[in-house]
Amino acid sequence: MQCEERRKMSEPRAAADSSSPLNAIQPGGVVLTPPASTDPGGPGVHRLGYRGWGGQLEGGWFSWVVIATVGVRRAWTSSWLKRMLFLAWLPAVWFGAGFFIWEQAALDGEWQLAAGQMMRGLPPTPVFDKIRESVQTGDFESSRHMVWAWLLQSFFRYPQGVLMVLVVGMVAPPLISQDIRSRAFLLYFSRPLSRGQYVLGKLATLWTFLSIVTAAPALVLYVMGVLLSPHLGVIAATWDLPLRIMAASVVLMLPTSMLALCFSSMTKESRFAAFVWFVVWILGWFTFVAATTAAALNSPDVERTRRGMRVVRYALEESAWTNLSLYHTLGRVQSWVFGFTPFEEVLVPLGILMSVTLLSLLILLRKISAPMRV
């Protein structure tokens, strides 16, 4: 009697197991779709089987795009960041006036006086002496490439360099520190996502905003100079400047973004990462200024005038004192990119930037891997 009852009770379970979706998967990986339900009320959630995917499949390598998109959207919610990006385009108007004055001087002799005034405050170096000579002789065609490169280098080094520090200090600190605090790594790396894709997504977030600050306005300045020129033949004389703009952007963005993410990965509090970021730049700046000022005052050949001090300070900006400041190290390498400094003179600054980039990357990868190590 008991055996008969057990047999009857096991019959519904066996029937249910035979219709289970798991049994539709065959050894060869073939999925058998169960027949449509004849129940007028619908198949029901408990009766749904395996269904084919009708969407578009994408490669796993593009997972970093999702991380970058989310990072850009979250950063864009800051009203201060929007104001900062707006201010980043205002210096382009000022430097655009330099392009306008130079090209107008090439067309009209009345503008040559204004071009001479623009070059008056420059220190006496071989490059700027050649520009002054072309202004005096009225040969603006031969010095166009040099003047455009000088304007673009000054645009990168001074206003955009300072704005870069502010923009990265606003965007980078919470990118990884918030993931550490909220344990979002458990969600990220439970998917088929590698460390390299995760880092690339965070870097792409920073590069998006840095491109708006540096590369985009510089390219607009170049296009403005071409449009203001008397003929389109200037493109043949200045074709390399857009490439130099992109190279200068890479020099600026790669070490700074890597260093900022390294600071963000070392703490759970984004405000600590932001504090360390600004301290590195401010401390390096003041150390360089103090060292160069002392060297200028102790120089026996310096003239005790404002112009004499400016000449000595400009010469010291091309000396080994620049290695004390990350800001001036970047400026010196960018000066080589635009053709104003020989390559052998930037070997040490270039090595410093490469060391900062590689060391930051190693620390960053180690910190990202720490939550996944047992």
What pLDDT, in 10s, does the model give residues 324-372?
889 999 999 999 999 888 899 899 999 999 999 999 999 999 988 876 6
Is the pTM of the predicted complex or chain greater than 0.75? yes
φ, ψ (nearest 5 deg) of residue 25: -85, 120
Residue 180: inside a domain: yes
Residue 193 pLDDT: 80
Q: What confidence category does residue 52 fall into, taking pLDDT thresholds of 50, 70 and 90?
A: low
Q: Answer yes or no: are the C-beta atoms of 63 and 192 closer than 8 Å.
A: yes
Q: Answer yes or no: are the C-beta atoms of 360 and 182 closer than 8 Å.
A: no
Domain that holds residue 334: 63-372
Residue 42: inside a domain: no
Q: Answer yes or no: are the C-beta atoms of 171 and 85 closer than 8 Å.
A: no
Residue 13 pLDDT: 44
Residues 73-85 pLDDT 10s: 999 999 999 999 9
Residue 59 pLDDT: 59
Q: Mean pLDDT throughout 20-29?
A: 40
Tell me how crowded residue 132 is: count the other CB atoms within 10 A of its CB: 16
- Res. 174: pLDDT tops 90: yes
Our count of domains for the chain comes to 1
Query: How far apart (Å, rounded) are the C-alpha atoms in residues 236 and 244?
Result: 15
Output the average pLDDT for the chain.
Answer: 79
Residue 321: inside a domain: yes
| Residue 9, both tokens | 């009770």
Residue 125: inside a domain: yes
Query: How far apart (Å, rounded) are the C-alpha atoms in residues 66 and 185?
Result: 15
Residue 197: inside a domain: yes
- Res. 24: pLDDT tops 90: no
Q: Mean pLDDT throughout 125-144?
A: 74
CA angle 222, 65, 159 (to 5 degrees): 35
Q: What confidence category does residue 14 fall into, taking pLDDT thresholds of 50, 70 and 90?
A: very low
φ, ψ (nearest 5 deg) of residue 340: -105, -10
Q: Answer yes or no: are the C-beta atoms of 53 and 47 closer than 8 Å.
A: no
